[in-house]
Amino acid sequence: MTLLDSRTFHVHHGQYHTLYANPLGRVFDETLFDPENPDLRAEKVSKGGRQAAWFIDLPIDMQGVLRFYRRGGLVGKVVHQRYAWMGAGNTRSWAEFVVMQYLQSRIPQHVPMPLAAMYQRFGWSYEAAIIVERVPNVQPLATCLDQVDPQAVATAILAMHEVGVWHADLNAYNILVDAFDQVWLIDFDRARRVSMDDKKRQGNLLRLQRSLQKVCGPAGGLWWEDVNRAYLQQWPNKR
């Protein structure tokens, strides 16, 4: 086991390589990534995660979300869960874990805690999974649009952009709202730390617009206009 910093442990066990964050820093336990482990009391997530995500009970009095990486599109019909090996830092799980840990250090009020990331290498390919903190009593934006303040959603998106993170799929299911009306951003697969220019900001907002229009119809489009307006009003360096 290697201590990378005060918050992260790297454990190598056979083909498995795992990053653990505190408070989950521990010796390797591959059963944490096995939804059939009865101790996890895994419950399949009904929406999102490409049918490869579970709510789980962790051995630290905390609930998590276990998600395996699955391919989409045409490639996903042939190769379901293998990715080309291009180094540990380029694995989907490692990269997402690192971005989320950075966001947790900067805007913890909007991003769940990453707890563990795993990859299993098979020569020139690998499979991967990640465990993140489960935020209790949340609903996706797609299902509670009329109950959410567009200003709060704009604030969360702007906070992410202001610390230099671009979200790869900012849709109506990757924005959650809890019982206290706090907005959470999730699913940072393929997200990147970048210099956030106008084009990248607009790209994230337009992706959300398309998603809201698709799942909520015209009301979603009108609601997005309020989000976009609030974002521009709050943006300190708007053009």
Predicted confidence (pLDDT) per residue in 131-166, tens digit: 999 999 999 999 999 999 999 999 999 999 999 999
The mean pLDDT of 41-70, rounded to a whole number, is: 85
Has residue 23 got a pLDDT over 80?
no
Neighbours of 176 (CB within 10 A): 20
Tokens found for residue 45: 């997530």
Specify whether the backbone of 50 is left (phi greater than 0), alpha (psi in -120 to 50) or beta: left
Burial class (CB in 10 A: 0-12, 13-18, 19+), 7: middle
- How do beta strands 16-21 and 8-13 pair? antiparallel
The C-alpha atoms of residue 172 and residue 154 are separated, in whole angstroms, by: 13
The mean pLDDT of 105-121, rounded to a whole number, is: 94
By annotation, the residues acting in catalysis are: 169
pLDDT at 47: 63
Neighbours of 219 (CB within 10 A): 12
Residue 114: band (very low, low, confident or very high) from pLDDT cuts 50, 70, 90: very high
**pTM summary value:** 0.90
Has residue 43 got a pLDDT over 90?
yes
E strand intervals along the chain: 2-5, 8-13, 16-21, 43-44, 53-58, 62-68, 83-84, 114-122, 125-133, 138-140, 165-166, 175-178, 183-185, 192-193
